[in-house]
Amino acid sequence: MDEKLILYLRDYCGYCAMVQEVISELTVEVEQRNIWENDSWQNELIAGQGSSTVPVLCRMTAVGETHWLPESDAIIRYLIQTYD
């Protein structure tokens, strides 16, 4: 799969931790952006997704398309179906 994955998350978020655990188990390369550590990352998330609720997985395809996937269950399902 030729895409860049970015996970928007924050500290003390159990749903974020569940997604991070699956990423670790699958050894998928995912850039992780903690929105509490960088205001520009939070602004990117709000601009792309419409809110700052996390976790959100941003998928950037080789042809320049960007897809935003919110909700931990949906993210985990996508990662397992695509990378397991």
The whole-number pLDDT of residue 1 equals: 59
The whole-number pLDDT of residue 2 equals: 80
* H or E segment and range at residue 19: helix 14-26
* pTM of this structure: 0.94
pLDDT block averages, 10 residues each, the chain of length 84: 92 98 95 98 96 97 94 98 94
Judge residue 72's burial from the number of C-beta atoms within 10 Å of its C-beta, 0-12 exposed, 13-18 middle, 19 or more buried.
Answer: buried
For 3-83, CATH gives: 3.40.30.10
